[in-house]
C-alpha cells in the first residue's frame, strides 16, 4: 500500500485530467502489518483525491470487481481505486469465469485543456471533478456493488471487504448486513433506509473510522470504534464477543513455542557485511529489502528504515547535522537504488556531502521473488537488454570514490569501510555477490565442525546463520541448510570449521 504514497502526486492530478481508456489503481492495505512499515488506511486517498474506490471481499469479487472497475472508469472518465487487504489478497478459492472481451485501443485526441494541468486549465477540471463525484454518488445508490442482505433486523451491520466475511461467520442470520462494494462515495440514501429498518446499527471496519464518521454525519446513530479497535485485524471471534457477548473458549497449551523471527538465508551475502558494520559499531541508515533483516539480533546492524530510497537521503541529513563525529553509512539494495536511491546520491554529491553509501548488489530483486531489474541485463519477460552499470551511475552522479568488495571476504570489507569512513569526501562501496538462491550460483559442499577443535566460544553465532546451532555443548552445522559459503569458517579463531571431507 505504501506504493500509493509514492504515486500520490500524479494520482491527485489524474483525478483532474481523467482518463482515455480505463485505469485501475490497486492498493493492498496491510491490516496487522504482516509485511509493511505502517498500517495506513488507503480509503483516505479516495476521499482526498475524490476518486471512486471499490473493495472486494473474496476471490470471486476480486475477478468481478476488476471488470466493474474498468467499466466504471470508462463511464465516468476517472481512475478507480481498488482496495485489497492482506487476507483477501492471500486467499484462494474457485471462481467462475466469464467470456473475455477484447477492447479496441482508443484514439488519442489532442486536448490540452483536459490533460495539461496548468492553473488556467486546472480550474475548469476541478469543476468536472466535483460534478463527477456527485454523479458517482447517485450511481452508488443503484449499483449492484452495494447490497443489503436481510435477516434479523434487531442488529444491522455496515461493512465491506474482509470484515464482511468476519461478520457473516460471526453473526450469520442474527444480523442484517449492508455490504459495501463501492466504498467511495457511499450510498447515503441506501444507508438511511437500512438504518431505519434495524433496531441497532453497527459499523464494522478495520483500521480507521471512515464509514462510521460519514454515517454519523448523516445524523444516524451507530456503534463502531467505541467497541472495535483501530489497530490490527479483526476476527469472527472478536465480532461475536463485542456484539453478541459470546466469549470464545480458547484451548491453552503449557508448552511455549519458541519464537522464530524471519532471518536472512544461509549463505546470504549480506551477512558478512552486516557482521563488519556491527563489529565497527557504525550507525546504519537502512532501506527496504530482505537486507532489512540485518536490524535483528545477533547482527543488530541497522538503525533506521523508513521507505525505499530513504537510507541515502536520511544519511545525508544525518551527516550534515552531525558532521564526522558519528561514523555512519547507508545501505541500499541494487534494485532499490535503481528505484529511488540515485537522486539521493546525486544530492550528496551536489550539496558537498561526506557520506558513505553501501549498495548491496546481489544481482537480483531478492525480497519480492527474484524479479529482474535494470542492473541484471534482463527484463521481467526474460528479454536481454543493456545492463545498467552501478559503478558508472555512481561516478556520473559525481562520486569519485567508488569501489567493489566481496561480502564473503570480511577482512576486505572491514578495510574498505575503515578507509572510506575516514575519507574527506563522499564514497560508494558496492558489496557484490549474487543471491545464494539464484539457480546460476554454483553449489558448494556443506561445512562441518571439528568437535575436538571447537571451544564453544560462539564466535560463529555472531553472524546469525540459521544453519549453525548448539549440539552437546559445541557448535554444529545443519548440512541440509549449509551452502558452504565459508563465512563462519573465516570467523572461527580455532579453525574448527571446514569441509566435511576432512572431518
pLDDT tens per residue across span 82-108: 999 999 999 999 999 988 888 899 999
90 Cβ contact partners less than 8 Å away, ≥ 6 residues apart = none
Q: What are phi and psi of 333, to 5 degrees?
A: -75, 160
Q: Tell me which CATH code domain 147-244 carries.
A: 3.40.50.920
- What percentage of the chain has pLDDT greater than the value 90? 92
Whether 147-244 and 270-432 share one fold: the answer is yes
- Please identify, in words, the CATH class of the domain defined by 270-432: alpha beta
**Digit-coded pLDDT (tens) for 285-306:** 999 999 999 999 999 999 999 9
Pairing of strands 176-180, 147-149: antiparallel
**Digit-coded pLDDT (tens) for 158-176:** 999 999 999 999 999 999 9
- For residues 193-214, average pLDDT: 98
Under the banding of pLDDT at 50, 70 and 90, the label for residue 250 is confident
How far is residue 467's CA from residue 173's CA, in Å, rounded to a whole number? 52
Using the predicted structure, report yes or no on whether residue 190 has a pLDDT greater than 50: yes
Can you tell me which residue has the cell 473475455?
A: 100
Q: If you ran DSSP here, which 8-state letter would residue 441 be given?
A: S
Using the predicted structure, report yes or no on whether residue 326 has a pLDDT greater than 90: no
Whether residue 238 contacts residue 202, with contact meaning beta carbons closer than 8 Å, is answered with: no
pLDDT at 325: 64
Region label for 456, one of left (φ > 0), alpha (ψ between -120 and 50) or beta (otherwise): left
The greatest distance separating any two alpha carbons of the chain, rounded to the nearest whole angstrom, comes to 82
Is the peptide bond preceding residue 185 cis, with omega within 30 degrees of 0?
yes
Distance of CA 43 to the CA centre of its chain: 17
- For residues 401-426, average pLDDT: 97
Region label for 299, one of left (φ > 0), alpha (ψ between -120 and 50) or beta (otherwise): alpha
Whether residue 82 contacts residue 26, with contact meaning beta carbons closer than 8 Å, is answered with: yes
pLDDT at 454: 97
**Digit-coded pLDDT (tens) for 118-174:** 999 999 999 999 999 999 999 999 999 999 999 999 999 999 999 999 999 999 999
How far is residue 429's CA from residue 181's CA, in Å, rounded to a whole number? 50
Q: Listing from the earlier edge strand, what are the strands of the sheet with 176-180?
A: 147-149, 176-180, 155-160, 200-203
Which helix (H) or strand (E) element contains residue 140? Answer: helix 119-142
Using the predicted structure, report yes or no on whether residue 265 has a pLDDT greater than 90: yes
Three-state DSSP state, 473:
coil
CATH architecture under which domain 447-502 falls: 2-Layer Sandwich (3.30)
Q: Choose among 24, 21, 28: nearest CA to 52.
A: 24
pLDDT at 501: 56
Q: What are phi and psi of 246, to 5 degrees?
A: -90, 115
Please, is 15 exposed, middle or buried when counting C-beta atoms within 10 Å of its C-beta (0-12, 13-18, 19+)? buried
Q: Residue 458: CA atoms inside 13 Å, Cβ hemisphere, count?
A: 7
Helix runs in 331-409, H state only: 334-336, 342-350, 390-396
Q: Choose among 306, 332, 233: nearest CA to 37.
A: 306
How far is residue 385's CA from residue 392's CA, in Å, rounded to a whole number? 17
Q: What is the dihedral sign for C-alpha 392, 398, 400, 404?
A: negative
Using the predicted structure, report yes or no on whether residue 503 has a pLDDT greater than 80: no
**Digit-coded pLDDT (tens) for 349-367:** 999 999 999 999 999 999 9
Q: All 3 cell numbers of residue 43?
A: 480509503
Tell me which of 25-39, 97-111, 168-182, 279-293 is least confident. 97-111
Whether residue 453 contacts residue 502, with contact meaning beta carbons closer than 8 Å, is answered with: no
Domain residue ranges of the chain, discontinuous segments joined by +: 2-142, 147-244, 270-432, 447-502
- For residues 265-273, average pLDDT: 97
Query: Can you name the residues that pair with 270 across neighbouring β-strands?
Result: none
Region label for 175, one of left (φ > 0), alpha (ψ between -120 and 50) or beta (otherwise): beta
Q: Report the helix count and the strand count for the chain, using DSSP H and E.
A: 17, 18
pLDDT at 249: 83
Angle 149-153-159 (CA atoms, 0-180°, nearest 5)? 50
Under the banding of pLDDT at 50, 70 and 90, the label for residue 502 is very low
Amino acid at each position: 500500500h505504501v506504493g500509493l504514497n509514492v504515486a500520490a502526486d500524479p494520482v491527485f492530478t489524474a483525478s483532474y485530467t481523467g482518463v482515455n481508456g480505463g485505469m485501475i489503481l490497486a492498493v493492498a492495505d496491510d491490516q496487522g502489518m504482516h509485511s509493511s512499515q505502517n498500517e495506513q488506511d488507503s480509503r483516505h486517498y479516495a476521499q482526498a483525491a475524490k476518486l471512486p474506490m471499490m473493495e472486494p471481499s473474496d476471490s470471486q469479487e476480486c475477478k468481478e470487481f476488476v471488470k466493474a472497475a474498468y467499466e466504471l472508469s470508462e463511464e465516468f472518465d476517472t481512475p478507480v481505486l481498488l482496495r485489497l487487504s492482506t487476507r483477501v489478497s492471500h486467499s484462494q478459492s474457485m471462481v467462475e469465469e466469464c467470456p473475455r472481451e477484447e477492447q479496441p485501443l482508443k484514439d488519442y485526441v489532442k486536448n490540452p485543456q483536459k490533460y495539461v494541468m496548468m492553473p488556467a486549465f486546472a480550474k475548469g477540471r476541478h469543476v468536472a471533478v466535483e460534478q463527477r463525484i456527485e454523479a458517482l454518488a447517485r450511481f452508488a445508490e443503484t449499483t449492484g456493488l452495494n447490497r443489503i442482505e436481510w435477516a434479523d433486523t434487531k442488529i444491522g451491520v455496515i461493512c465491506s471487504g474482509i470484515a464482511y466475511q468476519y461478520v457473516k461467520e460471526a453473526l450469520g442470520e442474527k444480523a442484517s448486513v449492508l455490504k459495501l462494494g463501492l466504498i467511495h462515495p457511499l450510498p447515503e440514501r441506501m444507508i438511511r433506509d437500512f438504518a431505519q429498518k434495524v433496531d441497532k446499527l453497527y459499523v464494522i471496519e478495520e483500521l480507521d473510522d471512515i464509514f462510521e464518521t460519514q454515517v454519523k454525519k448523516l445524523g444516524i446513530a451507530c456503534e463502531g470504534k467505541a467497541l472495535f479497535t483501530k489497530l490490527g485485524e479483526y476476527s469472527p471471534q472478536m465480532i461475536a464477543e463485542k456484539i453478541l457477548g459470546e466469549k470464545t473458549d480458547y484451548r491453552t497449551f503449557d508448552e511455549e513455542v519458541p519464537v522464530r523471527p524471519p532471518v536472512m538465508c544461509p549463505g546470504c551475502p549480506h551477512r558478512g557485511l552486516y557482521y563488519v558494520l556491527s563489529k565497527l559499531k557504525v550507525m546504519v541508515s537502512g532501506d527496504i529489502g530482505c537486507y532489512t533483516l540485518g536490524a535483528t539480533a545477533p547482527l543488530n546492524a541497522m538503525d533506521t528504515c523508513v521507505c525505499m530510497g530513504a537510507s541515502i537521503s536520511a544519511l545525508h541529513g544525518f551527516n550534515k547535522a552531525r558532521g564526522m563525529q558519528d561514523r555512519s553509512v547507508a545501505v541500499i539494495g541494487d534494485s532499490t537504488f535503481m528505484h529511488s536511491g540515485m537522486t539521493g546520491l546525486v544530492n550528496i554529491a551536489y550539496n558537498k556531502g561526506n557520506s558513505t553509501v553501501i549498495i548491496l548488489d546481489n544481482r537480483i530483486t531478492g525480497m519480492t521473488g527474484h524479479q529482474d531489474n535494470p542492473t541484471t541485463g534482463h527484463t521481467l519477460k526474460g528479454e536481454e537488454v543493456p545492463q545498467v552499470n552501478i559503478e558508472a551511475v555512481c561516478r556520473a552522479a559525481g562520486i569519485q570514490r567508488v569501489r567493489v568488495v566481496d561480502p564473503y571476504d570480511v577482512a576486505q570489507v572491514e578495510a574498505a569501510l575503515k578507509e572510506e569512513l575516514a575519507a574527506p569526501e563522499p564514497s560508494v562501496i558496492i558489496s557484490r555477490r549474487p543471491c545464494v538462491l539464484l539457480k546460476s550460483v554454483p553449489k558448494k559442499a556443506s561445512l562441518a565442525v571439528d568437535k575436538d577443535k571447537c571451544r564453544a566460544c560462539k564466535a560463529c553465532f555472531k553472524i546469525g546463520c540459521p544453519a549453525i546451532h548448539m549440539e552437546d555443548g559445541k557448535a554444529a552445522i545443519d548440512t541440509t541448510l549449509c551452502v558452504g559459503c565459508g563465512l563462519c569458517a573465516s570467523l572461527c579463531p580455532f579453525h574448527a570449521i571446514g569441509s566435511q571431507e576432512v572431518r
